[in-house]
Amino acid sequence: MIAVGSEQGPLPLGTEQRMSEFTDLVATAVANAQNRSALEASRDELTRLAQEQAALRRVATLVARGIDPAEIFSAVAGEFGRLLDADNAGISRFDPDGSSVVIMGSVGADAATVPIGTRVEIPDYFAVAVVWRTGRSAQVDEDVWDGLPGPAADRLRKLGIRSMVASPIIVESRLWGVVNASSRRGPFPSDAADRLADFTELLATAVGNAGSRGELAASRARVVAAADQARRRIERDLHDGTQQRLVPLGLELRLAQSMVPAGLPELETEVGRVADELTGVVEDLREIARGIHPAILSEGGLGPALRTLARRAAVAVELEVAGIRRLPEPVEVAAYYVVSEALTNATKHADASVVRVAVEERDDGLHLLVCDDGAGGADPARGSGLIGLRDRVEALGGSLEISSPPGEGTLISVQLPLQLH
């Protein structure tokens, strides 16, 4: 509405008409302003959606790649921290009773972040606590804790936090954790918690995938451990049982041979032949037992076992194992069989003249390098025994890489962790 008044008497004739014409212009101006405002709001909303979708694509790519969840957590915290223009953002896993959380990823101002793995108690008025109680997204602003006593409220006031928002992470129908953000600039938009929902779905997928991979790795490790235990049992049975029975039998045959009357040379020869055959059987059993599980590996450790393996190899071996201490048994067994298989392949398939073996302990891991000057062309897919070795190494959380260009020899590189879970 436009209104005019006069203290000098009646307004001139035609004032209403002139005002009406003027209001048309004002209405046009107002409409144009409203249209521009709506256009700008629409443009801002499209920009926000585009940024949000780009962030989701980046996170989805990380999840699809199956990388370490810790890296995904930090990346997601950074993404929604930027989208909400938050001062701090993080991802936490609930303890079973919901009274505290474990920080899984955190970004933001140094004063308000805590190291990953830290357990933090959560007061009832925190947005994270509301998520635990309700299972739904929540936003809590400063008027809730303003004036409340206690160190948590004091810290919020000291840091100048004015708003907190959180959204649940549901993994296999269970409340696993929460994503949360805080701001010093004022309350978050009313839709802030809902905007986190898409990220929490991706996080749930990452957590579920990590759990499946962990269970698979643990299962593989159990299978390898069970196989090794069976091999050790068979080796002990051969050594303590069959061999111990055959050795005295051979001695008795030698004694019987010496007691054959002088007039029976054929019998003496035959008894000697049987004794020789028995000696050969005992040696074969010893070799079989060593192949199943070398006793020296259990008794002396990796260094002595590899030295014995190198001495018995049909190819020259340059061995570097100085300073290797006793390691976890699964690590020693895996390293031993890698070298054993590599020496076998170098002799039977690569026609190598020399094999170099280097074993080094560094950076909380065992690093093993085996290279030969043979024909190369080794392909794990062709069943050379390397597939089983890779499975064994990866079951322990390690890695095995093979480089074998035709005509240029074979290089096997293995990394094994020393801290096994």
pTM above 0.85, yes or no: no
How big is the CA angle at 388 (ends 382 and 392), to the nearest 5 degrees?
A: 150
Number of domains making up the chain = 3
Residue 250 in domain? yes
Are 139 and 187 found together in one domain?
Answer: yes
Q: Where in the sequence is the domain holding 299, given as residue range(s)?
A: 294-421
Are 188 and 256 found together in one domain?
Answer: no
Are 366 and 265 found together in one domain?
Answer: no
Residue 36 in domain? no
Which residues make Cβ contacts (< 8 Å) with residue 194, sequence separation at least 6?
137, 167
Give the pLDDT confidence of 100-138 residue by residue, as tens digits: 888 887 888 654 457 778 888 889 989 999 999 998 888
Are 359 and 390 found together in one domain?
Answer: yes
Among the candidates 195, 230, 260, a domain finishes at 195
Give the pLDDT confidence of 4-53 residue by residue, as tens digits: 888 888 888 888 888 887 787 777 777 777 767 665 665 655 565 556 56
Are 267 and 281 found together in one domain?
Answer: yes
Residue 13 in domain? no
Nearest to 114 by CA among 79, 150, 159, 166: 159
Residue 17 in domain? no
CATH code: domain of residue 323: 3.30.565.10
Residue 23 in domain? no
Are 396 and 273 found together in one domain?
Answer: no
Are 72 and 187 found together in one domain?
Answer: yes
Are 269 and 312 found together in one domain?
Answer: no
Are 288 and 314 found together in one domain?
Answer: no
Are 84 and 189 found together in one domain?
Answer: yes
Residue 24 in domain? no
Are 329 and 304 found together in one domain?
Answer: yes
Are 148 and 242 found together in one domain?
Answer: no
Mean pLDDT, consecutive 10-residue stretches, the chain (421 aa), reads 86 83 76 67 57 60 60 74 81 86 78 71 90 89 87 87 87 82 85 72 62 51 59 63 75 82 83 82 68 72 87 89 84 87 84 91 88 83 68 82 88 86 59
Among the candidates 293, 313, 341, a domain finishes at 293
pLDDT attached to residue 102: 86
Among the candidates 250, 268, 293, a domain finishes at 293
Residue 154 in domain? yes
* Cα within 13 Å of Cα(397), Cβ side: 14
Nearest to 337 by CA among 378, 379, 299, 387: 387
Biggest alpha carbon–alpha carbon distance for the chain:
165
Residue 3 in domain? no
CATH code: domain of residue 80: 3.30.450.40
